[in-house]
Amino acid sequence: MADITSAPSLSLSPTARARKILLDQGIYVILVVLIIIATILYPPFLGPDNVLLILQQNAPLGIVAVGMTIVLIGGGFDLSVGSTFALAGVLSAQLALAGNVGLGIMVGCFAGLLCGLFNGLLVTVLKVNPFVATLGSMTLIQGGTLLYTNSQAYSVTDPGFAFIGAGKLGPIPVDVIIMIAIFAIAQIVMRKTLYGRVLFATGGNREASRLSGLRTKTIEASTYVVAGLLAGFAGVISASQLGTGQGTAGGTMALNAIAVVVIGGTALTGGEGSVLRSGVGLAILAVLQNIYYTLAVNTYFQLITQGAIVVGAVALDKRLRSRMIR
């Protein structure tokens, strides 16, 4: 029921214990090594301005990744977060353009919540496979958004709308504060509350959880609602950052979020994971992208290496876990 960082190790052999340490701590070693490399290549890398810029650039992805972590821990899967992200950005920008900034933010978030609820009902009530359900809703939402906007973007110059994605509270960008707050709240909920414990149990063994009296369908559906809400909120923040809402935004958002979560060690099979470690996964991708930028690495090569990292992370995770239980 707990994530990999809390699994008992007293009964493990020395070899298995070493593998567990590698599984638990390896991600932090990788991050430190990448930071050292980035600092060598670009000495001001750890300067406050650069660090805040990196955090701000990755704030929307980080928020989406929190929702994806919760879905995966619950044993689900969500490919529709990118389309939800774009829809929310469009709706919020359109209303902000009409002078309704507050309403635009709320509508964007509510649209994300509804998309998540739709996914949850597909999976739990209609019993559609999560991959198929969210693949279908991804296409449906994306097509509907492009049809609604006629493939046009909504550009907004309202300073009130820009504040949430480009404003600052003192020296800290507002979107960075929001992202950190969401990570902190989600980590506390997942580790310290009944909901978190129940979610780990459901993702680890849904049938056993159902037989023990847990409302597994409600729990599972709630993860999609949370993921949709956070994807919508992230879409609003991204539109605010760019001053534009467009239906083509978020094209690779779902895959990037999955990459962040998988690198962070959350199991695709459910029942194991950590919001905090997803934050580390986000940091690894962000630092890697900064290194790419410094070295002027070709964009296509970046995609190749990112895909290789995800496949390698999943393969290594599976191999280490299987050997630990032998």
Higher pLDDT, 44 or 151: 44
User: What single DSSP character describes residue 4?
Assistant: G
| Domain boundaries 26-37+45-324, corresponding CATH code | 1.10.3470
* Domain ranges within the chain, ordered by starting residue: 26-37+45-324
In whole angstroms, what is the distance from residue 97 CA to residue 104 CA? 9
Does 5 have pLDDT greater than 60?
no
Phi/psi-derived region of residue 164, left when phi > 0, alpha when psi is between -120 and 50, beta in every other case: alpha
Higher pLDDT, 19 or 164: 164
Nearest partner of 72 among 156, 154, 162, 3, judged by Cα: 3
Higher pLDDT, 91 or 271: 91
Q: What are the angstrom distances between the C-alpha of 275 and each of 15, 65, 93, 164, 313?
A: 28, 8, 29, 23, 17
Q: What are the angstrom distances between the C-alpha of 113 and each of 2, 109, 221, 223?
A: 27, 6, 11, 11
For 172, the enclosing helix (H) or strand (E) is: strand 172-173
The confidence score (pLDDT) of residue 322 equals 64
CB neighbour class for 147 (10 Å; exposed up to 12, middle 13-18, buried from 19): exposed
User: What single DSSP character describes residue 85?
Assistant: H
* Mean pLDDT, rounded, of the chain: 89
pLDDT digits (tens, 9 = 90+) for 123-145: 999 999 999 999 999 999 999 99
pTM for the model stands at 0.91
Sorting pLDDT into bands at 50, 70 and 90, what band is 7? very low
Sorting pLDDT into bands at 50, 70 and 90, what band is 10? very low
Does 253 have pLDDT greater than 90?
yes
Does 23 have pLDDT greater than 70?
no
Q: What are the angstrom distances between the C-alpha of 18 and each of 9, 11, 29, 122, 125?
A: 10, 13, 15, 42, 43
Does 113 have pLDDT greater than 50?
yes
